[in-house]
Chains A and B, each alone.
Chain A
Amino acid sequence: MRHSVSLKIGPVGFRIGSDWRVPIAALKDLYRDYPAPDDGIADFNVRLFAARFWRRFIRPSVMIGGDYIIPDAAPLPLEMGLLAAEMGMNLQMALGQRRYLLLHASAVVRDGKALLMSGVSGAGKSTLAALLMARGWRLMGDEFALIDPMSGLVYGFPRLISLKNAAIGLMRSTLPQGRFGPLMKATPKGNIRHLVPDAQAIAAMETPARPALILFPTFGHAPAERAVDEAEAFVRLTQASTNFVGLGQAGFDTLTRLVREVPARAIDYPDTESALRLVEDLWSATA
């Protein structure tokens, strides 16, 4: 393709090609501290392309392609090219990842042990992970946690943190020195702005950690906390995994081991302050 960039996020290499310069330039800038894929060989390819030739120039709209695709995915306007690239990479992970059990969860590390936070979109996974990063935790990722079937360790996927709507202002004031991408207004998911993970997160992005606590956060209720037993954690995490079924027995064994070895809690929180208090209290009590 005319423009391209190769980079590695956690243990996963990507090659992203584009008909336009702008999205690649944005990726090169925001991912400038990330290494290249091992041996220069990417695990996944992402393509950003125009559905028709003239669509490169006239009301340019970006189709998302790659090794794995969803048919009939709607294109995005070129101003959201960076979002398209991120969606393309997420899509490869969600549909094509087979080396690790992939959990839709954010993950942070303290003292070499990992906290996983899994929840539906809007539960605050990304925001909580970003806030914990600001308080000195090592960010492993705000979207996917990768469980290694052999060792049971969690590997990070510290892509750009995807901040939505109110979380954008919150993180701007929490991390005034942070590196932020362009503000993309009125995307299919509302306003989006990316935050580059801090130096600690990038430097240690290939270092796995032993999972120590699983949280299922829910936003919008009075502070509360309850234990989640193995069976419920198992079912919730099968729903949070895109490749549990595809991995066959390896997926089942990996997830069973995770919920047996790692305690799980559900927390409700009305605001981020109380969420952080809940999380850090639980962490000192359990992990």
Chain B
Amino acid sequence: MSARLVVETLREPARCERYDAAQWNALIAAARAEQIIGTLACRLDGLSLPVAAKRILDDARALAEVGRTLALWEAEAARRALAPLGVPVLLLKGTAFVAAGLKAGVGRSIGDLDILVPRGALDSVQDALLAAGWEWVKPDPYDDAYYRQWMHELPPLIHRDRDRMIDVHHTILPLTARITPDADAIIADSEALQNGLRVPQPNDLLCHAAAHLFADGEMLGGVRNLWDIHCLLEELGTDGLEARARLHGLHHHVMRAVRLSHDLYGTDIPIDWRVRDPADALFKRRLLARDGWGRVRPKWIEHVFYLRGHWLRMPPAMLARHLWTKWRKGYHPVG
């Protein structure tokens, strides 16, 4: 599987000096599919590479740099819109990594702007964003009601001029999930950036990354999300991580993330965390399920994790109702 090639190359960049054309093609296709080619390009910078590969990676690095600028500008736009409210605004995921200057942000592709605000401030945040030019994306009333009733974020908003999406979270997992992280603690213990925006403290960044990877959704982009975790662990260490993970009810997921990061990326972790868990193999299989054309292979594993993602998100009766509604509207998972 070529996702393994991506992982091994990230872990040990010098390997790529021995790759043949077929390996390069597989590496590039899989890295693009996993949206980690910018990170890969930064890791391989300075090595002696075939000219054609170097050109592709130079482009990817330039693109990541433009993406970084756009992400920071989008955060600044949100800051200006929300500053008058006087509520804490936390950056999450990719934007948090680049705003805080973390290694996990180097070359990282960043799509939407993800922010976390206190749940009690949601209405005023929503109004301030609408007044500043953001608009609703989802016209479907079912989708809108679904977000508002069950999700951990407002329905997505898009800015009418800049065409960029913002996800406004009030916690880090759906309300329907069986785990309820302590969003108040994440906000209370967050760290201020110079411009007044905030980022979660290191262990919360890790807890969120692990929650995002294992407790939410279908493990799309797992290679990248696990790379985030590897970089955070290497740079910020593991002090107090277990206790913090327990506080959020995420101990199980954080420990799995740490083990897999150690296994795949060689992250240095405490000896007593290096235990065997038979289920890790399946998660690893899903993480590495990407072939040399950028396709998810084997295909069955995608369906397994699609169902698992929904199972984690909601109780069975609710899940059945949701999938029935979506199916009638013509939604089918296709890869």
Which residues of A are interface residues toward B (Cβ below 8 A)? 1, 13, 15, 17, 37-43, 45, 47, 49, 51, 65-68, 98-99, 246-248, 250
Contacts and interface: CB of A to CB of B under 8 A. Distances in A.
Contact of A41 (B52, B60, B63): B52
A68 B32 CA distance: 8
B25 A51 contact: no
B312 to A, nearest CB: 24
A47 B292 CA distance: 11
12 contacts: A15-B29, A40-B24, A41-B24, A41-B50, A41-B52, A45-B294, A66-B294, A98-B60, A98-B62, A98-B63, A99-B55, A246-B63
Interface of B: 20-22, 24-25, 28-29, 32-33, 50-53, 55-56, 59-60, 62-63, 66, 69-70, 293-295, 334
Contacts of A99: 55, 59
A231 to B, nearest CB: 20
Contacts of B22: 40
Shortest Cβ-Cβ A-B pairs, 4 listed: A40-B21, A41-B52, A39-B52, A39-B50
A47 B295 contact: yes
A256 B9 CA distance: 39
Nearest to A41: B52
Contacts of A248: 66, 69-70
B263 to A, nearest CB: 28
Contacts of A65: 294-295
B227 to A, nearest CB: 19
B53 A39 contact: yes
Nearest to A37: B52
Contacts of A37: 52
B293 A1 contact: yes
Contact of B25 (A42, A66, A98): A42
Contacts of A43: 52, 55-56
A242 B282 CA distance: 40
Contact of A98 (B51, B59, B69): B59
Nearest to A17: B293
Nearest to A49: B295
Among A17, A39, A66, A247, find the residue whose CB has the most chain B CB atoms closer than 10 A.
A39
A195 B334 CA distance: 35
Among B22, B25, B32, B53, find the residue whose CB has the most chain A CB atoms closer than 10 A.
B25
Contacts of A42: 25, 28
Nearest to A36: B21
Contacts of A49: 295
Nearest to B21: A40
A96 to B, nearest CB: 8
Nearest to B19: A41
B69 A41 contact: no
Contacts of B70: 248
Contacts of A246: 63, 66
Contacts of B25: 15, 40-42, 45
Contact of B66 (A41, A68, A247): A247
A99 B54 CA distance: 12
Nearest to B33: A67
A97 to B, nearest CB: 9
B51 A67 contact: no
Contacts of B29: 15, 45, 67
A65 B55 CA distance: 23
Contact of B293 (A38, A47, A247): A47
Contact of A39 (B21, B66, B295): B21
A163 B22 CA distance: 34
B53 A41 contact: yes
A41 B28 contact: yes
Contacts of A39: 21, 24, 50-53
Nearest to B66: A248
Contacts of B59: 98-99
A160 B59 CA distance: 26
Contacts of B69: 248
Contacts of A250: 62
A17 B55 CA distance: 22
Contacts of B56: 41, 43
Nearest to B295: A47
A13 B295 CA distance: 20
Nearest to A72: B334
B66 A38 contact: no
A67 B52 contact: no
A225 B25 CA distance: 48
Nearest to A15: B25
Nearest to A251: B66
Given A40-B21, A45-B25, 6 more contacts: A15-B25, A39-B50, A39-B51, A40-B52, A65-B294, A250-B62
B334 A51 contact: yes
Nearest to A66: B294
Contacts of B28: 41-42, 45, 67
A13 B24 CA distance: 13
Contacts of B295: 47, 49, 65
A250 B69 CA distance: 13
